Structure 1
Amino acid sequence: MNALDLTVGSTLPPLHTGPITRHRVAMYAHGSGDLNPIHVDPDFARDKAHLPDVIVHGMYSMGVLSRLLTQWAGAGSVRSIETRFAAMLPVKASLHCDGVIEAVEATDGGSLVTVKLTATQGDGTAVATGSAQVFVAAAQ
């Protein structure tokens, strides 16, 4: 990526993942230490939380949005990221992540790019929205 190629309104290459399995959610739960039963116990999710099944962690969605950014601009490029969780992501759903360049600010050695982020499930429901600041080095 080269700072001269950055244009406000341009889209990042989308990232699609899924379907997200119960096994993947359980692995994420153990890795993150978030063992809330709505994520790992189908009986609890149904009987106590009145959900059809376990749900995917909101931070899982944020992690996929972060991967969208690093696949586009490289490891270590994300300076900040803010996310609002808009809806629950059910297990077995697919996740579609998109980014749009909102602003580009020239800095020493490159550009600081503001990216609007959206994560939607397969039916188009937004599960997370946000923005990020990403540093893109100038072409050498």
Structure 2
Amino acid sequence: MTAATDLAVGTVHEVVVVDDLTRTQIVQYAGVSGDFNPLHSDEVYATQVAGNPTVMAHGMLVMGLAGKALTDYFGDGRLTQFGGRFKASAWPGDTLTARLTITAVHPGEGSDPPSADVDVEVVNADGVAVFGGTASAQLDPPA
């Protein structure tokens, strides 16, 4: 869990959320989400119909990996807001890194706990952003 005294505006936390994204992970996500769009699972469709180099990962899989980075950093049950946009495709073989940048730290007032606002970005090994968004999380009060 993260305390308000541990953070400052500009603090950056980076973590690899997947190293060598596999087709198995993409298919497992399709099974869990129920999203069986052939862009994610059918090589022939992805390449010959859609014109992609191969199947692509679900955007929500990438967002879920970013969410895990957030909850690992702030603690379970601490997120109060999380949203974003899909910026580029993630492909099998990609290594994806989540970059969390603190944009504001709120000390909390009255019964409101301290909190932080965060810019969230997931980039591939080439530094291309595949997801970008924002989040807010509750923090532990200062000791």
Are the equivalent residues in 1 in contact too, given 2:20–2:94 (CA < 8 A)?
yes
1:113 matched to 2:116? The reply is yes
- Equivalent residue letter for 1:76: G
Q: CA deviation at 1:113?
A: 0.6
- Equivalent residue letter for 2:85: R
- Equivalent residue letter for 2:135: A
Q: CA deviation at 1:2?
A: 1.5
Q: How many residue pairs get matched?
A: 140
What's the CA shift string for 1:48-78, capped at 9, x where partnerless? 1111100000011111111111111100011
Are the equivalent residues in 2 in contact too, given 1:3–1:110 (CA < 8 A)?
no
Aligned to 2:20: 19
Question: 2: distance between equivalents of 1:18 and 1:42?
Answer: 21
Aligned to 2:10: 9
- Equivalent residue letter for 1:75: D
Question: 1: distance between equivalents of 2:71 and 2:16?
Answer: 11
- Equivalent residue letter for 2:83: E
Superposed, 1:51-90 pairs within 5 Å as: 51-90=52-91
Q: Which protein has the bigger strand share?
A: 1
Superposed, 1:120-131 pairs within 5 Å as: 120-131=123-134
Aligned to 2:135: 132
Aligned to 1:102: 103
Are the equivalent residues in 2 in contact too, given 1:13–1:72 (CA < 8 A)?
no
What's the CA shift string for 1:77-103, capped at 9, x where partnerless? 111111111111112111111100001
- Equivalent residue letter for 1:93: D
Question: 2: distance between equivalents of 1:129 and 1:13?
Answer: 14
Unaligned runs of at least 5 residues, structure 1? none
Question: 2: distance between equivalents of 1:138 and 1:109?
Answer: 10
Task: Give the 4+ runs in structure 1 shifted more than 4 A.
Answer: none
Give the root-mean-square deviation of aligned CA atoms.
1.3
- Equivalent residue letter for 1:31: V
Are the equivalent residues in 2 in contact too, given 1:2–1:137 (CA < 8 A)?
yes
TM-score, with structure 2 as normaliser: 0.92
Unaligned runs of at least 5 residues, structure 2? none
